[in-house]
Amino acid sequence: MWSYLANPERFERLARVLTPVMWALAGVLFLVGIPWALVLSPPDYQQSDTVRIMYVHVPAAWLAMAAYGGMGTASFVYFIWRHNLADLAARALAPAGAVFAFLCLVTGAIWGRPMWGAWWVWDARLTSMLVLFLLFLGYIALRAAIEDERLAARSGAILAMAGLINLPIIKFSVDWWNTLHQPASVFRFDGPTIHASQLWPLLVMALAFTALLTALVLTSMRTLIAQRRADVLLRRREQRLEAEELAL
Amino acid sequence: MSGEVAEWAAMGGYAGWVWSAWGVTALCVGALTLLTLRRSAQARARLAAREAEAKQAAPPRRDAS
């Protein structure tokens, strides 16, 4: 599959169809998910209406982790097989991942204040999520700091792969350490413990965020490809003008 | 009717928390979407201009001699 998609023209053909489909899908899912989460779903018997924060907090957390997983995987593919598109995918995932991780932290703090009585605690789940956010920022900063594109791509790939170790730490932090954060209630071996009236709107919101992330990444990858092509054409033009000057 | 809406908007007394969490999400996701689309449009316009230029320059210019 990697080598199939590594062909930029084939990717472009696929992305041209897939990108608008994903934008539309995200729009439709948000149109369903937002009223379901804000109006139709019931308030929680313990947390009252603050549980509605869950419908943005949890998808943001999942998608931040998925974005990092994708970034790490793409970096691995780039590092081993040198597929340029894999590097573009990693680059495109970083800003979206950073925004989702940021939203997870901010909405978590807004939820934590009324429910726990604290905006922030240095607990394993919260701290590992903060590390994820900083990994995204570090990756973006590293790539921006190195001018040589190939070197930037390779260094970024190493950082992204090393940071993958943080994903299982985030997932299992609520089991391994004593923490204020509640344990998993959806992805459990014995099935979800959250009621269907809250699980369904949560899943729709998560799907909406997933479609949005896919649309954002595909759009950004095509932007990067267009920029690269424009740069090549600019360089060719400069060479041609130089050659013409020499000919005079 | 408006009483029902007001009651819903009050979010069981947690209006400030719920609406600020949703608000910051809408703001960030909206900004990310707009920036991504704007950069895409700019990159495409730039590429189109370069491609038009390259096509024009493809036959060697006569006034160069």
For residue range A93-132, list pLDDT tens digits in order: 999 999 999 999 999 999 988 888 888 888 888 999 999 9
CA distance A111 to chain B (A): 7
Residues on chain B touching A57 (C-beta within 8 angstroms): 21
Mutate: best of B11, B24, B25, B35, partner A, most A CBs <10 A: B25
Nearest residue in chain A measured CA to CA from B48: A230
* Interface contact B44, partner A, CB < 8 A: yes
A151 burial level (CB within 10 Å; 0-12, 13-18, 19+): exposed
For residue range A182-236, list pLDDT tens digits in order: 887 877 777 777 888 888 999 999 999 999 999 999 999 999 999 999 999 999 9
Residues on chain A touching B50 (C-beta within 8 angstroms): 229-230, 233-234, 237
ipTM value > 0.90: no
Nearest to A240 among B46, B50, B57 (CB): B57
For residue range B17-58, list pLDDT tens digits in order: 999 999 999 999 999 999 999 999 999 999 999 999 888 876
What is the sign of the dihedral through the CA atoms of A185, A186, A187 and A191? positive
Looking at residue A4, its pLDDT comes to: 66
Looking at residue A177, its pLDDT comes to: 81
The CA-CA-CA angle for residues A95, A100, A106, to 5°, reads 125
* CA–CA dist B63, B65 (Å, integer): 5
For residue range A76-104, list pLDDT tens digits in order: 999 999 999 999 999 999 999 999 999 99
